[in-house]
Amino acid sequence: MAQELISKRIAVIGGGPAGCICAKFLLDEGFSITIFDKGELLKTLLPTGGGKCNLAFAEYDFKELAKNYPRGEKFLYSVFSRFGTSDTVEFFKSIGVETYVREDNRIFPTSNSSADVRDKFLRVLKGVKYIREKVTNILPPATASPVLSPPLVGMSEGVNSYKIFTDKGEYLFDNVVVATGGKSYEILKNLDINIIPPTKSLVGLITKDDYSGLSGVSLKNVKCAKFSGDILFTHKGISGPLVYTLSSIDARKEFPYQLEFEFIDQKLNPQEFLDKNSHKEIKNLLGQFVPKSFAEFYLKSLGLNSETMCHKIDGKTRDLIFNNLKNYKITVTGKIPDSEVVTCGGVDLKEINPKTLASKKYSGLYFCGEVLDIDGFCGGFNLQNCWATGYVVSQSIIEKFI
C-alpha cells in the first residue's frame, strides 16, 4: 500500500493549460499532484483570444478538427477521438464556465474574460501542491540516485524514479508529465528524446516593401491560396489572421518567398465598374474594394495619379491596376521578432505513443500540450490541443493504476 501511494504522486512540469487540465483529472481520481512552474498557474491563459479566452473551435468531427493543425494532424486523430470539442465545452461547464459560439465558430466563455476562466479553473486545483521553482533538468531512472538530501517529494525507494532538478532543490517521482509549452526544451537535454528544432509559427511577417505608411490599415476577406481572412499592415510588414495562417503553413520555408493575395474578386469585370463610375477618381473607385489609404498607396506604387478620372483610364492602365489587385504579390523576408503566438517544433511525435502520449523509451514519462511538435491555426485550436492531450495523459496514468 505504501508503494502504491508513493507511485500515485505525479509530477506535472508546467502550470499552463495542458498541465493544469491533466492535474485536474488526476486530482479527481485521488492522485497526489505536484505542479512545478516558475510563474503563476495558468498565467499564459490570460492573453488568449485577446483577453476573452478563445477556448476551442466549433468543429465536432475529430478528423475535420485535426485538419487545422499543420503539424500533428494524423497524430491527433486518436487524441481528439477521446477528447473533442464537445468534451472541452462540457469540461468547462463542469467547473462553472458557460460558453457560446461566435459567428466564426470560435468558442468563448459567456463572460468574455480569460481572467474569469482562470479563476474558476484555479478553484478546482486547490488540492494541487504547487512548487514555484524553475525546473532545470530531468534525469531518467537509470541515473537517478536512490539517496538524496531534502527536499524530496514522491521518493520511491530504488532506481525507478526520475530526478527533477530545480533552481532550488531536487525531487524524485515515478511518473512525470512534461507540459512546459513550446520553448522549454533544455530540461530534456539528458533524456534520449529527439526534439524538432522550434521556430515561430502564427507570426507577423517582415516584407521587402515598406508598408509602414499603412501601419494599422487592414484589408478584409482577402484570399491567398485556399485560405481567406483579414490582413493588417504594420511598421515592419504584414500581420492579422490570414497572415498567421500562412506563416503557420510556411513556418519552415526559407526566406525570401512570395505570397500572392487576391484583394478583389477574380471574376470582377473592371471595365464595367469603370463605365458605371466614369466621373469618379480612380482612388475612389478602388475605395469600394480596399481602404482608400491603400488605394492611394497602391496607385502611387504603380506610378499612377490617384486622382485620374475613371473615363480617362485606358485598357492597358486598367489591366495594370486590376490584374495586380487580383494577384497582389508581397515578398516576405523574415518573421517579426517577439510576435509569435505559438511555435512549431518540439518533442518528435515519433517518440510518443499516440494512444497514451507516453514516451516510447521511458516508462512513466508523458508529454502534453505545445511541448509536442503539434501546432494549430488561430481560432482556439492550440488550446484544444492542450485540453485534449492533457486529458489523454491523465487517463493513461489513471489506467496504469487500475
Global pTM value: 0.89
Question: In sequence order, what E strands does 235-341 have?
Answer: 237-239, 257-261, 328-335
What is the predicted pLDDT for the residue at 129? Answer: 96
Side chain identity at 74, as an amino acid letter? K
Cis bond before residue 70 (omega within 30° of 0): no
Are the C-beta atoms of 266 and 273 separated by less than 8 Å? no
Which residues 6+ apart lie within 8 Å of 385 measured at CB? 18, 69, 72, 76, 369, 370, 372, 374, 375, 376
β-pair type (365-367, 175-178)? parallel
What is the predicted pLDDT for the residue at 3? Answer: 40
Beta-carbon count within 10 A of 307 CB:
11
Distance, in Å, from the CA atom of 222 to the CA atom of 350, rounded to the nearest integer, reads 37
Cell numbers found for residue 296: 492611394
Beta-carbon count within 10 A of 133 CB:
16
Over the chain (402 residues), the average pLDDT of each successive run of 10 is 56 98 96 96 93 97 97 97 98 98 97 98 96 96 54 51 94 96 90 94 95 96 94 96 94 96 92 92 94 96 95 95 96 88 92 97 96 95 98 96 82
Question: In sequence order, what E strands does 202-248 have?
Answer: 205-207, 218-224, 227-233, 237-239
Closest CA to 243 of 377, 73, 57, 67: 377
Are the C-beta atoms of 73 and 67 separated by less than 8 Å? yes
b/e code 225-254 from CB counts within 10 Å (16+ = b): eeeebebbbbebbbbbbbbbbbbbebbeee
What is the predicted pLDDT for the residue at 243? Answer: 95
| Coil vs helix vs strand at 170 | strand
| Sheet strands side by side (includes 135-139) | 135-139, 162-166, 170-173
